[in-house]
């Protein structure tokens, strides 16, 4: 079909959503003999467990009310903002002065918060954003849609995939036509699961402050960070001048379909957020806000339990992978483990075996091919590391200081939140089966 109208190059030049591509591999396996057993889907970072019963109950009551059907406040229900501020004070061990309701705004999910933020901070075509590599694909896509250049910070596979401060310093001190407008970090990270320590985050905030740009922390997975406060940055009385954090209700509260997220920032900045949010969302969904606001304090215990269950699952996952020759978990946390596949796969013998298994020509073995084989031959759906990086022949690599290690493309992301503990126990056999396919 021909479209009789033109499209924006910013949209046509942006990578298509990658989850459907992985799901298609799963569908190929499911439609076949399923020789390795039923399809195990570890591709998407989505909670498998339903929301707490009190949340479902409140949602069903509130959603049927006339009040929830009306427009609400642009930055969220006052009660919801107050409840989230209280929750954050509890989680980060803060007092009232550190963080208040006026410091938080509610958005239609964290992805929307990120897009709003870019629109507030970055004039298109002349801005760059420091972004860790590997990066959450929707961040890279949002930058592309806004004609913002990513200034990638390679994360070190040998050091828990922490982003390079050195690369950041070099970017920030090198003159560029694309002015850096913010440093974005994700902790606990998607895709690597790596969780940055309070000390490391303090260094990043100091760097951002030194260059008069904000440090933006995407803390979608903060409820899974481990015990204790995820960081100490809000305790700095000047945090509002240089820190912006983003949150999500999708993971900790397990309501991704209800689309609630948050921005925590200086109230003056939130006024600018309101201008963009008014056009994009008018108001965040009201029913989940009205349902959740009175319940937040009572849900902490359930969240702690859920976080502990996921930590245990990640530990079990690590033990399962450790039994399989050549496979190694390099980092894990939150919903994810980032796993290196065997080096033998990249040998000439491995390349030939994989090409034969996939029935296609291959000049090298990359994570995309391994992910495809894992899904279509062994029934395990994951997201390959290449989904979280530019194409290996993209000219942008020339600007990535220290990007050689990333170029190896040896990693696969496993999401553990959407599967049972039994599924994790069965994984080792599937990885062994892939080793057999690869002639190991
Ligand atoms: C790092 C990160 N940010 C944002 C999101 C999206 O969150 P939300 O559902 O609140 O839009 C995700 C979801 O996977 C994520 O991993």
Cα–Cα distance for residue pair 12/110, rounded to 1 Å: 23
- Residue 47, pLDDT above cutoff 90: yes
Which are the contacts of 177, defined by CB distance < 8 A and separation ≥ 6? 126
**Count of CB atoms situated within 10 Å of the CB of 216:** 28
Q: Report the separation in Å between the CA atom of 439 and the middle of ligand 1, taken as the mean of its atom positions.
A: 38
Interval 272-290 mean pLDDT: 97
User: Given CA atoms 135, 137, 143, 149 in this order, what sign does their dihedral have?
Assistant: positive
| Residue ranges of the chain assigned to CATH 3.90.1150.10 | 9-49+301-437
Atom number of ligand 1 nearest to Cα 46: 14
- Residue 169, pLDDT above cutoff 80: yes
CA angle 327–152–230, rounded 5-degree value: 70
Q: What is the pTM for the complete model shown?
A: 0.96
φ, ψ (nearest 5 deg) of residue 357: -65, -35
Cα–Cα distance for residue pair 440/422, rounded to 1 Å: 26
Domain 9-49+301-437 matching CATH 3.30.450.20: the answer reads no
pLDDT tens profile 382-422? 999 999 999 999 999 998 988 888 889 999 999 999 999 88
Q: Report the separation in Å between the CA atom of 261 and the middle of ligand 1, taken as the mean of its atom positions.
A: 9
Q: Report the separation in Å between the CA atom of 188 and the middle of ligand 1, taken as the mean of its atom positions.
A: 12
Q: Report the separation in Å between the CA atom of 220 and the middle of ligand 1, taken as the mean of its atom positions.
A: 6
Closest CA to ligand 1's atom 12 = 220
Confidence of residue 202 (pLDDT cuts 50, 70, 90): very high
Which are the contacts of 235, defined by CB distance < 8 A and separation ≥ 6? 92, 94, 98
Closest CA to ligand 1's atom 1 = 190
pLDDT the model gives residue 30: 85
Q: Which of 125, 126, 105 is nearest to 117 (CA)?
A: 105
Ligand 1 binding pocket mutation candidate from 42, 118, 187, 248 (most atoms within 8 A of CB): 248
Cα–Cα distance for residue pair 188/54, rounded to 1 Å: 27
Cα–Cα distance for residue pair 416/317, rounded to 1 Å: 8
Cα–Cα distance for residue pair 173/164, rounded to 1 Å: 15
Q: Report the separation in Å between the CA atom of 109 and the middle of ligand 1, taken as the mean of its atom positions.
A: 7
**Residues at CB less than 6 angstroms from ligand 1:** 45, 109-111, 136, 186, 190, 218, 220, 248, 250, 256, 261
Q: Which residues pair with 339 in a beta bridge?
A: 329, 412
| Residue ranges of the chain assigned to CATH 3.40.640.10 | 53-299
pLDDT tens profile 73-121? 999 999 999 999 999 999 999 998 899 999 999 999 999 999 999 999 9
pLDDT tens profile 105-162? 999 999 999 999 999 999 999 999 999 999 999 999 999 999 999 999 999 999 999 9
The CATH class that applies to domain 53-299 reads: alpha beta
User: Given CA atoms 131, 137, 142, 148 in this order, what sign does their dihedral have?
Assistant: positive
Tokens 């904000």 appear where? 214
Q: Where are the beta strands (DSSP E) in 32-82?
A: 40-41
Which are the contacts of 15, defined by CB distance < 8 A and separation ≥ 6? 137, 140, 141, 144
Query: DSSP labels for 124-175?
Result: TTSEEEEEEES--HHHHHHHHHTT-EEEEEEEEGGGTTEE-HHHHHHHHHS-
Beta strands 380-381 and 411-415, pairing class:
unpaired
């Amino acid at each position: 079909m021909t479209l009789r109208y033109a499209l924006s190059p910013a949209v046509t030049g942006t990578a298509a959503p990658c989850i459907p591509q992985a799901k298609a591999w799963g569908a190929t396996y499911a439609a076949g003999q399923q020789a390795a057993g039923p399809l195990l889907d570890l591709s998407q970072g989505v909670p498998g467990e339903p929301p707490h019963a009190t949340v479902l109950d409140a949602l069903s009551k509130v959603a049927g009310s006339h009040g929830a059907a009306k427009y609400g406040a642009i930055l969220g229900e006052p009660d919801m903002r107050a409840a989230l501020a209280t929750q954050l004070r509890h989680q980060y061990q803060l007092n009232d002065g550190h963080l208040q309701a006026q410091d938080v705004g509610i958005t239609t999910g964290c992805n929307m918060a990120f897009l709003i933020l870019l629109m507030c901070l970055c004039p298109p075509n002349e801005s760059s954003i420091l972004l860790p590599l590997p990066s959450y694909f929707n961040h890279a896509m949002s930058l592309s849609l806004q004609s913002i250049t990513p200034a990638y910070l390679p994360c070190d596979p040998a050091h828990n995939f922490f982003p390079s401060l050195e690369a950041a310093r070099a970017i920030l001190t090198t003159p560029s036509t694309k002015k850096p407008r913010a440093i974005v970090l994700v902790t606990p990270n998607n895709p690597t699961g790596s969780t940055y320590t309070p000390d490391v985050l303090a260094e990043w905030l100091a760097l951002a402050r030194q260059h008069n740009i904000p440090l933006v922390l995407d803390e979608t997975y903060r409820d899974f960070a481990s015990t204790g406060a995820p960081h100490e940055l809000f305790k700095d009385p000047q945090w509002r001048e240089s820190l912006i954090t983003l949150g999500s209700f999708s993971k900790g509260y397990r309501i991704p379909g209800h689309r609630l997220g948050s921005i925590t920032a200086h109230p003056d900045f939130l006024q600018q957020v309101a201008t963009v949010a008014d056009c994009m969302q008018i108001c965040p969904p009201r029913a989940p806000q009205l349902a959740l606001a009175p319940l937040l304090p009572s849900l902490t215990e359930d969240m702690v339990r859920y976080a502990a269950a996921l930590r245990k699952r990640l530990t079990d996952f690590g033990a399962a992978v450790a039994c399989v020759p050549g496979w190694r978990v390099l980092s894990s946390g939150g919903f994810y483990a980032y796993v290196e596949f065997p080096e033998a796969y990249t040998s000439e013998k491995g390349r030939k075996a994989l090409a034969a298994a996939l029935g296609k020509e291959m000049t090298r073995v990359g994570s995309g091919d391994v992910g495809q084989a894992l899904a279509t031959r062994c029934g395990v759906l994951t997201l390959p590391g290449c989904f979280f990086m530019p194409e290996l022949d993209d000219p942008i690599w020339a600007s990535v200081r220290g990007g050689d290690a990333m170029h190896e493309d040896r990693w696969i992301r496993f999401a553990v939140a959407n599967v049972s503990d039994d599924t994790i126990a069965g994984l080792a056999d599937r990885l062994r089966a892939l080793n057999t396919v690869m002639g190991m």
